[in-house]
Structure 1
Amino acid sequence: MEINLISDTVTKPSPEMLQAMFNAKVGDDVFKQDPTVNAFEKMVADLFGMEAALFFPTGTMANQTAIKLNTNPGDQIICDKWSHIHLYESGGASANSGVNFNLLDGNRGMITAEQVKAGINDPEFYHAPLSKMVGIENTTNKGGGACYELEELKKIKQVCVDNNLKYHLDGARLWNAMIAKKQQPKQFGELFDTISVCFSKGLGCPIGSVLLSDAETMHRALRIRKIFGGNMRQSGYLAAAGIYALQNNINRLEDDHRRAKELGEVLQQLPWIEKVATVETNILIFEVIKALNEKIVIEKLKSKGILISSMGQGKLRMVTHLDYRQVMHEYVLEALEKITF
């Protein structure tokens, strides 16, 4: 038995999801004639109380489209130094949109309104880039699935309003944050100019993200998606997976969170563990003692059929997901307690 805890992107569609995909009514989405895609986009837009939505093959493309919508070449994005749009999108912001970053030193990938305000360049000082957009990631990937409090996001929104900044949410794992914090989609829809949400992580779809904004902005997004090569034809088969996920896979995220926390509790008791980061959602980050090479730990777990990943600098990561079942969880807990170095 191989247990893959490398990411929540490793899941495969369930038989029920596959059946929903098989039964989808489809058309040509490039002409906006796919009824299932159109229904999916409306469903997500209505969920967040936003005017329009657009289906993308990846979250990176959705984020990159938002950056291009919200900025001009030479502008600057304010975000945390661990942000996905900075670290894990292959320099796309500079390649696609010609923008740079003001990277803030936040807490577990989360920044404050005070930090944002201090990070804004004087628009009259033409020697510096023009601050144009604030990027928020929720939950934070490198921050170990940490979640923002709504009150802080509202304070950042006010800073954006006062300084004419666009406000983007990279909500790749926003579903996890909402479950963990008992928040509602419309609370985020009220705050942000653009929001990207992913369906191939916690919700178990094989592909896809959705970008949300007002109708005029999303009409412009159609052209940018085309430029980036993101137009798809009978993508209703994929959108059907998203509809199924919205209807069936959100509340069960609580199981992933519980299992991640239980893994963290066991790890904290082990002599070869230096530190376990606070576990809020489905991402668990931990560090081994300095005398122990992280690669040895990865290989040891692999020999037990347990796959995890390294985040560098001695940090290791486990991510729970819907294909990580309770019987697997019990095996991993027992295996961790028995491992010695």
Structure 2
Amino acid sequence: MSWLVTGGAGYIGAHVVRALTAGGLVPVVIDDLSSGHASFVPEGVPFVQGSILDRALVEDTLRAHHVEGVIHVAGYKYAGVSVQRPLHTYAQNVEATRILLEAMQAADVSNIVFSSSAAVYGTPDVDLVTEDTPKAPASPYGESKLIGEWLLRDQGIATAGSEHPLRHTSLRYFNVVGSGDPTVYDTSPHNLFPVVFETLLAGRTPRINGDDYNTLDGTNMRDYVHVADIALAHIAAAQRLSGGEPIEPAYNLGSGDGLSVRQIMDAMARVTGIAFTPEIAPRRPGDPDRIVASGELAARDLGWAMRSSVDDMVQTAWDARRAAGA
């Protein structure tokens, strides 16, 4: 029996694949390579290149590899861009999830770990986000992730009395950073770490968007979590599902205290050895002062923990980026 990782050639998915192998589970990858890289898939791991919008392909893959569960990481993950491309976002994140669940039902696959997002909360007016914090997504991306959770919930209810009832959980997390393997790094043109690295490598000065927020140093505070820890939480959830253990419908993979953008910039300078003073740019519209989540529920059930310091997160990310070359 194996676990299918959708988006397994991407930055997060590739770490999930490695964590599955390390945990004694058998991964299978499906990815259309729209943002992933075939080189991120370890040698020997079955790799199906194609879209999860292709129901026949998904169902055939589930049957051919005797899949017992799915870790659904594939998706269009650019919240800002989703405002300009809502239809594309919904197709990739909502319709694809619906098709995946349809294929799973046809192939009698009843376990799924869904890679959701803290974007489902929007801009909550609380110091610490919990799983019960009201959901108010502020972008099509956040909305699409919340709808994905609803799809899992509704399919779970619909199949509850069947021979193969859907068992599921959704993992909500914020900014994923670092690297657990020097051959895998974040290639997103929108995420803070790769943006800063590319700016520094080009000899330019990184920017901070606003320094007048209501925080200790005036810059935004967010959860920054190491990708290897995120991957371990996915595996723990998969094992809990396959073992028939009780599981919550959703977990926050949060730090509990967060880091400011200025703290990240300071760590970037320390780790890279490139001294710089960030330029201060205007605020971005809609950016809240602070969004930080509690990880207590995930710690209780999934062994969730923040195992890396900010310098560790920057160091592993920087090492992987440099190993990739220019």
TM-score, normalised by the number of residues in structure 1: 0.34
Query: Which one has a bigger Cα radius of gyration?
Result: 1
TM-score, normalised by the number of residues in structure 2: 0.36
Kindly indicate whether structure 1 or structure 2 has the higher relative contact order, using CA contacts under 8 Å at least 6 residues apart.
1
